[in-house]
């Protein structure tokens, strides 16, 4: 067993006296500040109960121990591995001393090499110079392959060959096992996937071929690998950049800079946002002399623990996205930054290393506390109030985003509604089809899969939905298209006569509820505007297909709800207080029974079905806004004689009865059990 592994094993068994003889180990185990790439951590809780740096060093040494190497190679690599993370360790007091001594705690490879040098008796010895240089460049090959550092950062290794300290062959024999240990300790699969690329880079370094390095575009490709796996079309995004030469010229300032923690901090942002952050960084004062740019602080601020798993702080992400979307590239070139009292773009030049800087977005104290409140309030009655306050603080439209902490689950639930939506396909006509508010994209999938030759386009007002769909399209090789657009003004996005079918599937009630039209939400005129917008771009024979909520008729019926769950009455009381669409009326008959107008009863029960996670959104939406006969009259009045209703059906959507039966009994005024009324309409309008 390697001596370093024996030392770690003894320490884990409680033998602390050996730390004095193994200063590298002492620094690692006394770390009071956990410096770790959160990209490699699945749960933030594990940081509280472990030492990720020690665990990682141990894995690198275990990998080395398994390799059949000469004594000289193994001993040299062992020394490099055990010292290479030293700058991530140390008590707070020790780190202050290091800073005063000029040790770089920004670039951990540089700082670790400096610390190693303090503990070597003869720094002039060739063996010490070799080890120092290997620590100094430790990890840079992997980081070059990730796009984080220029290849020239490895030049000190070739200097060893030029000075005759090692031959090219000896340096290669050292670098290959060293990099295998470094990468395989992260993931054996990662090493297997990178092995041949590492070998090629090592060959470049030991022969001094630094001119044949990655271009800036290639670095961007590597920095966006996680985003590409999620479906980003990085080639298309790069093509957009290359037709803006002034942007590419500004970005070339990154060529000679190291970019730390970029992928971990920024892969959740869109490519355009990623570029804007770099441009704002380069536009900051005194950046031209900077060598190292770190996104570590941004990375650390962008995650929190949710149900034991590391989770992106979507609240902060959305606020940063909004700020970036309000800035054009030209704005940034003119040194504009986010214009908000609650969000600032912050550059911090370190006193001890003027060639280094941290990039971060900083939130006001009020915003930080409100975001923390939102996180704490998830799944509690306070959540919707917290979210609405956050919207108001950052001046967000309340309908701009579908969901926050459960957005992925929500879009997944929408995609599981394929069985309900496929009936729409029977009424699709022509080649060009628009799906308004495509959500998770299931309607687009159904059209593409079951109607060959049809071109489906999804239009949504939410940029986040569009980006999610664009990534899924790329990932799944789909042919449908999506675009950001306003359903009330389709002429701005599509050529009149070019679209044969326009689908409103479970979206008109959201437009009715959220969109302020002529100063009012919960406005039938909004529905009218959406229908006219669609009708105007259709050719003769074109169709509008509506699948949405419906109210019961006669509307004066009443129903008794008997709650089977203890929280049922409190749910209703809370709902009646919070629902914004209209006044919800009910008469308490007992602690567990109420008498309600049928449409008030069903509006409440739809929300009761979805449960607490969806409450904050469902309480803001009115699902039913017309009875069937009212809808027919409204369509004729809105669209005129050329609009012919060829289908008008309504039904109870599957699942409501099963979901509500364990929670409620539903009765007429004579206390006779009755079925739940129809919830959903299917209306097809053809343009004559």
- For the residues 243-262, what does the mean pLDDT come to? 93
> Tokens 């980081």 identify what position?
143
How far apart, in Å, are the Cα atoms of 657 and each of 83, 457, 592, 627, 678?
A: 65, 33, 19, 20, 11
Region for 624 from its dihedrals, namely left if φ exceeds 0, alpha if ψ lies in -120 to 50, beta otherwise: beta
pLDDT digits (tens, 9 = 90+) for 649-671: 999 988 889 989 999 999 999 99
How much is the pLDDT for 387? 73
How much is the pLDDT for 44? 43
DSSP state of 517: B
Write the burial class of residue 266 (CB in 10 Å: 0-12 exposed, 13-18 middle, 19+ buried): buried
How much is the pLDDT for 359? 94
- Bond before 554 cis per omega within 30 degrees: yes
Which pair of tokens denotes residue 522?
Answer: 């919960």
Is the pLDDT assigned to residue 308 strictly greater than 90? Answer: no
| Kind and range of the H or E run holding 203 | helix 188-206
Report the C-alpha gap between 213 and 163 in whole angstroms.
Answer: 23
pLDDT digits (tens, 9 = 90+) for 269-290: 999 999 999 999 999 887 888 8
How far apart, in Å, are the Cα atoms of 393 and each of 290, 367, 388?
A: 35, 8, 9
Taking a C-beta distance cutoff of 8 angstroms, is the pair 526, 512 a contact? Answer: yes
The more confident residue out of 264 and 309 is 264
How much is the pLDDT for 418? 53
Taking a C-beta distance cutoff of 8 angstroms, is the pair 415, 476 a contact? Answer: no
| Kind and range of the H or E run holding 469 | helix 463-476
How much is the pLDDT for 421? 80
Phi, psi of 290 (to 5 degrees): -75, 140
Residue 309's SS3 state is strand
How far apart, in Å, are the Cα atoms of 42 and each of 89, 310, 409, 497?
A: 21, 5, 19, 51
How much is the pLDDT for 353? 55
Is the pLDDT assigned to residue 648 strictly greater than 60? Answer: yes
Q: Tell me how many degrees the CA angle 510-515-521 measures, rounded to the nearest 5.
A: 95
Can you give the length of the chain in residues? 688
- pLDDT class of 164 with cuts at 50, 70, 90: very high
Q: Quick one: what percent of the chain has pLDDT higher than 70?
A: 91
The more confident residue out of 307 and 424 is 424
The more confident residue out of 198 and 16 is 198
How much is the pLDDT for 427? 97
- For the residues 86-100, what does the mean pLDDT come to? 91
Alpha helices by DSSP H, listed for 340-423, are 365-377, 383-393, 407-415, 418-421
HEC assignment per residue over 21-34: CCHHHHHHHCCCCC
Which stretches does DSSP call E strand in 481-629? 481-484, 501-505, 543-549, 558-563, 587-590, 593-597
- pLDDT class of 638 with cuts at 50, 70, 90: very high
pLDDT digits (tens, 9 = 90+) for 219-238: 999 999 999 988 899 999 99
Is the pLDDT assigned to residue 42 strictly greater than 60? Answer: no
- For the residues 292-321, what does the mean pLDDT come to? 84
How much is the pLDDT for 403? 46
Which pair of tokens denotes residue 128?
Answer: 């010490």
Picking from 364, 356, 357, the residue whose alpha carbon sits closest to that of residue 319 is 364
What does pLDDT average to over the chain? 89
Picking from 6, 11, 4, the residue whose alpha carbon sits closest to that of residue 29 is 11
Residue 337's SS3 state is coil
- pLDDT class of 685 with cuts at 50, 70, 90: very high
pLDDT digits (tens, 9 = 90+) for 593-632: 999 999 999 999 998 987 776 777 788 889 999 999 999 9
How far apart, in Å, are the Cα atoms of 591 and each of 40, 561, 567, 569, 594?
A: 52, 11, 11, 7, 8
Is the pLDDT assigned to residue 415 strictly greater than 80? Answer: no
Q: What is the CA radius of gyration of the chain?
A: 31
Which pair of tokens denotes residue 130?
Answer: 């070799």
How much is the pLDDT for 306? 64
How far apart, in Å, are the Cα atoms of 637 and each of 527, 537, 634, 641, 649?
A: 12, 18, 5, 8, 19
Taking a C-beta distance cutoff of 8 angstroms, is the pair 295, 359 a contact? Answer: yes
How much is the pLDDT for 405? 46
How much is the pLDDT for 670? 96
Taking a C-beta distance cutoff of 8 angstroms, is the pair 298, 363 a contact? Answer: no
How much is the pLDDT for 121? 76
- Indicate the range of 76-85, 240-249, 413-422 predicted with least confidence: 413-422
Write the burial class of residue 415 (CB in 10 Å: 0-12 exposed, 13-18 middle, 19+ buried): middle
| String of DSSP letters for 108-137 | HHHHHHHHHHHT-S-TTSHHHHHHHHHHHT
The more confident residue out of 373 and 365 is 365
Query: Which residues fall within 8 angstroms of residue 459, CB to CB, at 6 or more apart?
Result: 434, 435, 436, 437, 438, 482, 483, 484, 485, 487, 490, 493
Is the pLDDT assigned to residue 486 strictly greater than 80? Answer: yes
CA 688 to chain CA centroid, nearest Å: 45
- Indicate the range of 16-25, 172-181, 585-594 predicted with least confidence: 16-25
Taking a C-beta distance cutoff of 8 angstroms, is the pair 144, 151 a contact? Answer: yes
Is the pLDDT assigned to residue 570 strictly greater than 90? Answer: yes
- pLDDT class of 419 with cuts at 50, 70, 90: low
Report the C-alpha gap between 625 and 528 in whole angstroms.
Answer: 12
Is the pLDDT assigned to residue 85 strictly greater than 80? Answer: yes
Highest mean pLDDT among 132-146, 315-329, 364-378: 132-146
Report the C-alpha gap between 465 and 507 in whole angstroms.
Answer: 14
Report the C-alpha gap between 249 and 258 in whole angstroms.
Answer: 18
Taking a C-beta distance cutoff of 8 angstroms, is the pair 664, 561 a contact? Answer: yes
For residue 643, what are the β-bridge partners? 687
Is the pLDDT assigned to residue 250 strictly greater than 90? Answer: yes
Is the pLDDT assigned to residue 574 strictly greater than 80? Answer: yes
Which pair of tokens denotes residue 534?
Answer: 């669609």
Q: Tell me how many degrees the CA angle 298-47-49 measures, rounded to the nearest 5.
A: 165
Which pair of tokens denotes residue 274?
Answer: 């990623």
Is the pLDDT assigned to residue 505 strictly greater than 90? Answer: yes
Is the pLDDT assigned to residue 380 strictly greater than 90? Answer: no
- Indicate the range of 18-32, 584-598, 640-654 predicted with least confidence: 18-32
For 657-676, b/e burial (b = at least 16 CB within 10 A) is eebbeebbbbbeeeeeeeeb
3-state helix, strand, coil in the chain (%, to 5): 50, 15, 35
- For the residues 453-467, what does the mean pLDDT come to? 90
Write the burial class of residue 67 (CB in 10 Å: 0-12 exposed, 13-18 middle, 19+ buried): middle
Picking from 439, 419, 447, 436, the residue whose alpha carbon sits closest to that of residue 508 is 436
> Tokens 């300032």 identify what position?
253
Q: How many CB atoms lie within 10 A of CB 450?
A: 11
The more confident residue out of 393 and 605 is 605
| String of DSSP letters for 591-631 | TTEEEEEHHHHHHHHHHHHH-HHHHHHHTT--S----HHHH
Report the C-alpha gap between 311 and 302 in whole angstroms.
Answer: 8
Report the C-alpha gap between 271 and 321 in whole angstroms.
Answer: 11
Sheet containing strand 353-363, edge to edge, reads 258-260, 292-294, 353-363, 343-350
How much is the pLDDT for 213? 94
Picking from 174, 74, 170, 168, the residue whose alpha carbon sits closest to that of residue 134 is 174
Is the pLDDT assigned to residue 681 strictly greater than 90? Answer: yes
Highest mean pLDDT among 96-110, 180-194, 385-399: 180-194
How much is the pLDDT for 47? 47
Is the pLDDT assigned to residue 198 strictly greater than 50? Answer: yes
Alpha helices by DSSP H, listed for 137-187, are 140-145, 155-162, 168-184
Which pair of tokens denotes residue 498?
Answer: 């070019």
């Amino acid at each position: 067993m390697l001596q370093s592994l024996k030392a770690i094993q003894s320490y884990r068994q409680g033998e602390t006296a050996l730390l004095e003889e193994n200063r590298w180990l002492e620094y690692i185990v006394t770390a009071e500040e956990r410096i770790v790439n959160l990209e490699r951590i699945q749960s933030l809780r594990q940081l509280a109960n472990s030492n990720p740096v020690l665990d990682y060093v141990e894995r690198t040494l275990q990998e080395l121990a398994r390799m059949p190497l000469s004594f000289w190679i193994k001993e040299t690599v062992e020394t490099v591995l055990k010292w290479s993370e030293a700058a991530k360790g140390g008590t707070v007091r020790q780190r202050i001393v290091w800073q005063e001594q000029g040790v770089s705690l920004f670039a951990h490879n540089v700082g670790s090499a400096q610390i190693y040098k303090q503990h070597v008796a003869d720094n002039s010895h060739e063996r010490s110079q070799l080890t120092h240089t290997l620590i100094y460049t430790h990890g840079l090959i992997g980081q070059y392959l990730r796009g984080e550092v220029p290849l020239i950062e490895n030049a000190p290794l070739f200097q060893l060959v030029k000075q005759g300290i090692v031959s090219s062959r000896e340096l290669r024999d050292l670098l290959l096992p060293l990099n295998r240990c470094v990468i395989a300790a992260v993931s054996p699969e990662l090493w297997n996937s990178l092995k041949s690329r590492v070998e090629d880079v090592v060959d470049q370094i030991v022969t001094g071929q630094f001119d044949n390095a990655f271009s800036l575009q290639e670095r961007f490709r590597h920095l966006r690998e996680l985003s590409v796996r999620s479906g980003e079309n990085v080639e298309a995004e790069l093509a957009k950049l290359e037709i803006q030469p002034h942007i590419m010229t500004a970005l070339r300032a990154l060529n000679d800079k190291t970019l730390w923690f970029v992928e971990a901090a920024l892969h959740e942002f869109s490519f355009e946002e990623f570029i804007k952050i770099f441009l704002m960084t380069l536009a900051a004062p005194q950046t031209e002399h900077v060598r190292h740019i770190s996104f570590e602080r941004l990375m650390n601020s962008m995650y929190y623990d949710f149900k034991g798993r590391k989770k992106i702080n979507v609240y902060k992400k959305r606020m940063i996205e909004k700020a970036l979307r309000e800035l054009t590239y030209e704005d940034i070139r003119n040194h504009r930054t986010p214009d908000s009292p609650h969000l600032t773009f912050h550059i911090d030049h370190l006193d001890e290393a003027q060639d280094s800087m941290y990039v971060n977005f900083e939130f006001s104290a009020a915003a930080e506390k409100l975001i923390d409140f939102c996180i704490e309030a998830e799944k509690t009655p306070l959540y919707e109030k917290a979210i609405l306050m956050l919207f108001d603080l950052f001046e967000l439209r309340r309908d701009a985003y579908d969901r926050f902490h459960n957005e992925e689950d929500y879009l997944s639930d929408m995609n599981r509604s394929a069985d309900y939506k496929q009936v729409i396909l029977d009424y699709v006509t022509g080649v060009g089809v628009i799906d308004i508010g495509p959500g998770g994209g299931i309607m687009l999938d159904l059209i593409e899969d079951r109607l060959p030759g049809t071109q489906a386009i999804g239009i949504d007002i939410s940029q986040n939905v569009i980006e999610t769909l664009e990534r899924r399209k790329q990932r799944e090789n789909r042919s449908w298209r999506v675009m950001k657009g306003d359903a009330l003004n389709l002429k701005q996005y599509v050529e009149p006569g070019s679209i044969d079918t326009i689908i409103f599937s479970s979206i008109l009630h959201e437009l009715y509820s959220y969109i302020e039209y002529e100063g009012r939400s919960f406005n039938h005129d909004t529905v009218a505007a959406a229908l006219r917008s669609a009708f105007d771009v259709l050719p003769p024979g074109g169709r509008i297909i509506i699948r949405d909520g419906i109210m019961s008729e006669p509307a004066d019926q009443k129903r008794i709800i008997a709650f089977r769950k203890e929280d049922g009455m409190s749910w209703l009381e809370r709902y009646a207080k919070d629902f914004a669409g209209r006044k919800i009326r009910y008469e308490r008959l007992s602690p567990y029974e109420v008498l309600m107008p049928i449409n008030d009863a069903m509006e409440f029960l739809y929300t009761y079905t979805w449960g607490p996670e969806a409450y904050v959104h469902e309480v803001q939406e009115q699902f039913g806004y017309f009875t069937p006969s009212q809808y027919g009259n409204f369509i004729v009045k809105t669209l005129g004689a050329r609009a012919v209703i060829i289908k008008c059906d309504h039904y109870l959507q599957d699942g409501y009865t099963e979901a509500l039966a364990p929670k409620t009994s539903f009765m007429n005024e004579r206390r006779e059990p009755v079925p739940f009324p129809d919830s959903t309409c299917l209306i097809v309008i053809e343009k004559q």
